């Protein structure tokens, strides 16, 4: 039928049909853009006001509105933001769980026997299996062996000249208060004049 109308030289009808087809195509594209925008904005934010603004932009400007929406939309989806936050929290938790030296507060590994920065003794090897154990543990959790209590070091004998200043002095009894009273010395007698010598002849 279309070919018959075309052969008759009537160009208005084919143009009308082409216009209807093109208009239907634009309408489908416009509705598809609205549906895609609604789904995309819901995946990126939960704010209903932002949902309405995005739909109005596409509704008013159609296909150019999609380009404007893609420039203004949030950068991340809610799922991507959740994954990023989860990764950040996991990294922070891992950093907080890492052990630190009790003396210098620097990061150390779980199998360090001593701090490589300040030489602080952190663990001691198990006598049975050789695993690193905390100094406060009384039992090896890896092999179940009891840890012997650390022997107290014996004092090192000092040479004779070094022991002199370490020998305590004998305790002296406290001095009693004196009960004697002060007596001034007796005055000295005045010197007497010598007797006159006899007159010589």
Phi–psi pair at 44, nearest 5 degrees: -110, -25
The domain boundary, picked from 38, 66, 86, lies at 86
pLDDT the model gives residue 175: 64
Do 26 and 74 have their domain in common? yes
Which residues face 121 on adjacent strands?
Answer: 114
Question: Domain count of the chain?
Answer: 2
Q: Which residue blocks in 116-200 are alpha helix, DSSP H?
A: 160-163
- Its domain, for residue 128, covers 98-148
Q: Quick one: 34 exposed, middle or buried, by C-beta within 10 A (0-12, 13-18, 19+)?
A: middle
Do 79 and 113 have their domain in common? no
- According to DSSP, residue 73 is labeled S
- 29 vs 174, more confident: 29
User: pLDDT band for position 77 (50/70/90)?
Assistant: confident
Is residue 194 domain-resident? no
Angle, vertex CA 23, rays to CA 17 and CA 27, nearest 5:
145
The domain boundary, picked from 54, 86, 118, lies at 86
Q: How far apart are CA 77 and CA 89, in angstroms?
A: 18
The domain boundary, picked from 86, 110, 134, lies at 86
pLDDT tens-place string over residues 156-189: 454 555 444 445 555 565 566 556 565 666 666 6
Q: How far apart are CA 135 and CA 121, in angstroms?
A: 8
Is residue 9 domain-resident? yes
Is residue 172 domain-resident? no
pLDDT at 190 over 50: yes
The answer to whether the beta carbons of residues 73 and 54 sit under 8 Å apart is: yes
Q: How far apart are CA 59 and CA 162, in angstroms?
A: 100
Do 80 and 135 have their domain in common? no
pTM above 0.95, yes or no: no
- Of 23-37, 91-105, 131-145, give the lowest mean pLDDT range: 91-105
Do 120 and 47 have their domain in common? no
As given in the structure block, the two tokens for residue 59 are 């509704």
Q: How far apart are CA 150 and CA 23, in angstroms?
A: 92
pLDDT the model gives residue 92: 78
Write the DSSP assignment of 162-181 as a string of letters.
Answer: HHGGGSPPPPPPPPPPP-PP
Is residue 154 domain-resident? no
Do 76 and 117 have their domain in common? no
Q: How far apart are CA 123 and CA 140, in angstroms?
A: 12
- Residue 165 C-alpha from the chain's centroid: 51
């Amino acid at each position: 039928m279309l070919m018959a109308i075309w052969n008759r030289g009537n160009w208005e009808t084919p143009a009308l049909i082409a216009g209807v087809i093109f208009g239907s195509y634009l309408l489908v594209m416009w509705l598809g853009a609205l549906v895609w925008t609604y789904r995309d904005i819901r995946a990126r934010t939960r704010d209903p006001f932002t949902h309405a603004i995005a739909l109005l932009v596409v509704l008013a400007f159609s296909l150019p509105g999609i380009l404007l929406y893609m420039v203004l939309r949030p950068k991340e989806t809610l799922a991507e933001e959740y994954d990023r936050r989860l990764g950040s929290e996991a990294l922070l938790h891992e950093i907080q769980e890492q052990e630190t030296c009790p003396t210098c507060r620097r990061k150390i590994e779980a199998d360090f026997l001593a701090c490589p920065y300040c030489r602080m003794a952190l663990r001691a090897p198990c006598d049975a299996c050789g695993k690193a154990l905390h100094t406060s543990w009384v039992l090896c959790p890896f092999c179940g062996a009891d840890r012997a209590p650390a022997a107290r070091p014996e004092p090192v004998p000092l040479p004779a000249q070094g022991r002199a200043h370490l020998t305590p002095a004998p305790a002296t009894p406290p001095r009693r208060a004196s009960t004697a009273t002060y007596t001034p010395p007796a005055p000295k007698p005045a010197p007497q004049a010598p007797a006159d010598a006899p007159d010589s002849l």
